[in-house]
Amino acid sequence: MSAEEVNQQTPAEPGAGPSAEGASAKSVSSKKIEANRRNAQQSTGPKTAEGKANSAKNAVKHGIFVKQILQGADDEEVAEIELLVQEIRDCYQPIGKVEEMLVEKIVVENVRYARILGFERQEFSRDCAFFNPAVDRVGRYATSMNRALSRAMEDLERLQAARRARESAAADPTADTEQPPVEAVDATAGESGA
């Protein structure tokens, strides 16, 4: 749990109300909260290339979804998945738990999609493949995996765009005062066409 999560769950003043864990939990002083915030600003993660490389493997070693995909995989498939994880992490550079989860979901859906395509290849190699209901089923699974992969990618890109917008707004506080609100722009655009 991060310092900010603790701050949100714990009242700043003694006796200001019960914490998220119940009335018997101790309150945290405002000095402690401020110290936690300062310390959190100094925690920026690994700095060396080796540390970053080790940290990047956490999604493979500790990921909720990836653990399930790796069960029963041979060494070659594990190496391919680890490479895929690294490439996708390098592409999206996730920040925060939700972005990490979406990167993991992209990896899992990609691996599942590749496995389904392997099953599809097996089914098409059989005699009278198109009379086998498994071909239709595999096709439906492939479509479902493809949609899930696309949806996870879209969700991650939307989340990252919103984060970048918040970061740029926070970095440039004058941007809000220089631009009129969206409603004002829409109203003036409607008037000029009349």
- Distance (Å, rounded) from C-alpha 175 to C-alpha 127? 66
Q: Give φ, ψ of 19 to 5 degrees.
A: -80, 180
For 93-112, write each residue's pLDDT tens digit.
999 999 999 999 999 899 88
Query: pTM of the full predicted structure?
Result: 0.53
pLDDT of residue 176: 53
DSSP-assigned letter for residue 72? T
For 55-98, write each residue's pLDDT tens digit.
655 545 445 556 677 777 788 888 888 888 899 999 999 999 99
- Tens digit of pLDDT per residue, the chain (194 long)? 444 444 444 444 444 444 444 444 567 888 888 887 887 777 667 778 777 666 655 545 445 556 677 777 788 888 888 888 899 999 999 999 999 999 999 998 998 888 888 888 887 787 876 777 777 888 888 898 899 999 999 999 999 999 999 988 888 877 555 555 555 444 444 444 44
